[in-house]
């Protein structure tokens, strides 16, 4: 069977140190810090005050907006503070700090397992919304909204993103291997909510153990198929995944539902399955801690656990840490310090050494064209850099800078060590500013 793929892309070293490590529960932290915005869309408003006693799974923040998702307490205990904290994305955000009483008392609203057969698509969407489930692949898009595509779009299939193309991260891999039943339950729920009969799970052939684990389980599942993919970065990027599986290109400025597809991460499916099985909303997820630490591991982590607690859980650093990246090393966020809470959107963090993180000496662009070959969106990065440096919005729009998905493939390969992604963002800013001006 010919493997499916897309044009362009790069092959960074995989470094999947934790690929074969089973998920283990992370030591429950003394304090959790739960930001009020862990999703794309309107931030939540707090439903509790300082001093309130909360139970695990209790809804503590909500927004009335359509594109939003509520947040829940991930431990039982007392609300110690509600205020601004440093977030993983480099900005301060409002968060609720809860002191753990280590009882894990479930909230009254946690009603126990649900039977998927008795639920309508509307029921499923409400469940997903109330459970605060968002895209766990990193984007954090409210899943209930994703399961409610506009009525004029004909959705033909569901594609599950099990690619996990970033180096180091293995949380999705372990979900596929160890939590296969829960994940498949979640996939069935999504298929029912979308009223589709086909789901495809995209998996790289080099993801050890994944295809075997899946084949075993889906033999009896009608309508769910595994699609083996060429191991290439960024195969996990939504548009490249859709192209590889279906051959369809999502139009620039469009969304997957424009080509009849909905894409979701396998961990998101796992979260839905988990909620169906236990009734507990999204209060914990699988994360990977990897890189220059003593014991790289895959953990089940309560939402709001701080990075510094997780560093302790893996036995501290191995050598001198030079860079801590929340997410993967190609698209993740570098941190200033470790007193940062991890949220539903984060799939873990990687500690890098100086040799790895140091960008190296920058030279002038030698026009080698490696960036052009690498770009999965078929842009011409070196030309866009020239336009971005000059603020030339005509050139930027002509060369479609807004098409850039910020996958960093170009910046990874550049031998002149030019910060290409940074310039892409500069270019996008110029174009967006110009468009805002014109709208006035």
Partner 1 sequence: MDELKLIVQAPPHIRSPLTTKKIMFTVVLALIPAASAGVVFFGMRALLHMVLSIASAVITEFVLQRLLRKKVTISDGSAVLTGLLLGMNLPVTAPLWIGVVGSAFAISIVKHAFGGLGQNFMNPALAARAMLMAAWPSQMVQWVTPLDAIATATPLAIAKAGIPDTATLPLLWDMFIGFIGGSIGETSALALLVGGIYLIYKELIDYRIPLAYLGTVFILASVFGADGLNSGIFHLLAGGVMIGAIFMATDYVTSPSTASGRWIYGIGCGLITIMIRFWGSYPEGVSFSILLMNIVAPLIERFTVPRKFGEVKKK
Positions touching partner 1 (CB under 8 A) are 10, 12, 167, 239, 243, 249-254, 308, 321-325, 329-338, 352, 354, 356-361, 363-370, 372-373, 376-380, 382-383, 399-400, 403, 406, 408, 411-417, 419, 421-422, 425
Q: How far apart are CA 80 and CA 97, in angstroms?
A: 5
Q: How far apart are CA 401 and CA 381, in angstroms?
A: 9
- Structure-block tokens of residue 83: 């205020």
**Which of 104, 253, 267, 94 has the alpha carbon at shortest distance from 179?**
267
Query: For residues 163 and 204, is the Cβ–Cβ distance under 8 A?
Result: yes
Report CA-CA distances (Å) from 133 to 23, 150, 189, 264, 361: 21, 20, 13, 12, 43
199 vs 330, beta carbon nearer partner 1: 330
Tell me how far the alpha carbon of residue 26 is from its chain's centroid.
20
101 vs 406, beta carbon nearer partner 1: 406
Element (H or E) spanning 171, and its range? helix 171-178
123 vs 406, beta carbon nearer partner 1: 406
252 vs 390, beta carbon nearer partner 1: 252
242 vs 283, beta carbon nearer partner 1: 242
Query: C-beta of 357: minimal distance to partner 1 in Å?
Result: 5
Query: C-beta of 111: minimal distance to partner 1 in Å?
Result: 41
Report CA-CA distances (Å) from 351 to 11, 226, 330, 341, 419: 20, 32, 13, 16, 21
57 vs 321, beta carbon nearer partner 1: 321
Query: C-beta of 13: minimal distance to partner 1 in Å?
Result: 8
Burial of residue 173, with CB atoms counted within 10 A of its CB: 0-12 exposed, 13-18 middle, 19 or more buried: buried
**Strand bridging mode 297-302 / 24-25:** parallel
214 vs 411, beta carbon nearer partner 1: 411
Query: C-beta of 92: minimal distance to partner 1 in Å?
Result: 16
Q: How far apart are CA 427 and CA 385, in angstroms?
A: 8
Query: C-beta of 176: minimal distance to partner 1 in Å?
Result: 25
Query: C-beta of 403: minimal distance to partner 1 in Å?
Result: 5
**Which of 128, 120, 125, 130 has the alpha carbon at shortest distance from 149?**
125
163 vs 190, beta carbon nearer partner 1: 163
155 vs 255, beta carbon nearer partner 1: 255
Query: C-beta of 254: minimal distance to partner 1 in Å?
Result: 7
Q: How far apart are CA 141 and CA 148, in angstroms?
A: 12
217 vs 425, beta carbon nearer partner 1: 425
Query: C-beta of 336: minimal distance to partner 1 in Å?
Result: 6
Inter-axis angle of helices 381-390 and 420-439, nearest 10: 50
Tell me how far the alpha carbon of residue 287 is from its chain's centroid.
11
Length of the chain: 440
Tell me how far the alpha carbon of residue 402 is from its chain's centroid.
21
Query: C-beta of 91: minimal distance to partner 1 in Å?
Result: 13
- Structure-block tokens of residue 103: 């009882």
- Structure-block tokens of residue 185: 């339950």
Query: C-beta of 129: minimal distance to partner 1 in Å?
Result: 30
């Amino acid at each position: 069977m010919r493997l499916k793929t897309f044009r362009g892309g790069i092959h960074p070293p995989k470094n999947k140190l934790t690929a074969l490590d089973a998920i283990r529960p992370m030591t429950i932290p003394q304090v959790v810090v739960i930001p009020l915005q862990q999703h794309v869309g309107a931030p939540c408003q707090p439903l509790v005050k300082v001093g309130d006693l909360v139970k695990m799974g209790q809804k503590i923040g909500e927004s009335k907006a359509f594109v939003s998702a509520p947040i829940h307490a991930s431990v039982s205990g007392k609300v110690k503070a509600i205020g601004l904290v440093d977030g993983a994305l480099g900005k301060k955000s409002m968060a609720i700090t809860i002191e753990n009483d280590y009882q894990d008392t479930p909230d009254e609203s946690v009603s126990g397992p649900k039977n998927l057969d008795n639920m309508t698509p509307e029921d499923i969407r409400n469940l997903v919304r109330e459970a605060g489930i968002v895209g766990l692949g990193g984007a954090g898009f409210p899943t209930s909204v994703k399961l409610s595509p506009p009525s004029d779009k004909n959705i033909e299939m569901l594609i599950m993103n099990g690619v996990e193309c970033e180096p180091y991260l293995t949380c999705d891999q372990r979900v596929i291997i160890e939590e296969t039943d829960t994940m498949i339950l979640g996939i069935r729920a999504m298929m029912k909510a979308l009223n589709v009969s086909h789901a495809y799970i995209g998996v790289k052939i080099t993801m050890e153990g994944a295809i075997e684990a899946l084949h075993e389980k889906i033999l009896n599942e009608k309508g769910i198929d595994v699609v083996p993919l060429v191991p290439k970065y960024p195969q996990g990027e939504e548009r490249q995944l859709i192209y590889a599986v279906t051959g369809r290109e999502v139009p620039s400025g469009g969304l997957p539902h424009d080509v009849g597809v909905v894409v979701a991460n396998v961990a998101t499916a796992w979260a839905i399955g988990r909620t169906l099985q236990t009734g507990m909303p999204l209060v914990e997820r699988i994360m990977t801690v990897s890189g220059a630490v003593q014991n790289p591991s895959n953990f089940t982590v309560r939402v709001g656990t701080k990075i510094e607690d997780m560093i302790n859980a893996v036995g501290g650093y191995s050598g001198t840490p030079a860079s801590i990246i929340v997410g993967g090393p190609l698209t993740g966020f570098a941190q200033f310090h470790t007193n940062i809470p991890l949220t539903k959107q984060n799939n873990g963090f990687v500690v890098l050494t100086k040799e790895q993180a140091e960008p190296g000496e920058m030279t002038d662009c030698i026009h080698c064209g490696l960036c052009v070959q690498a770009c999965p969106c078929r842009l011409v990065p070196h030309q866009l850099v020239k336009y971005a440096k000059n603020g030339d919005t005509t050139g930027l729009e002509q060369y479609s800078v807004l098409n850039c998905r910020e996958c960093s493939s170009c910046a990874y390969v550049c031998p002149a060590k030019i910060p290409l992604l940074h310039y892409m963002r500069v270019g996008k800013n110029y174009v967006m500013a110009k468009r805002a001006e014109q709208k006035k």
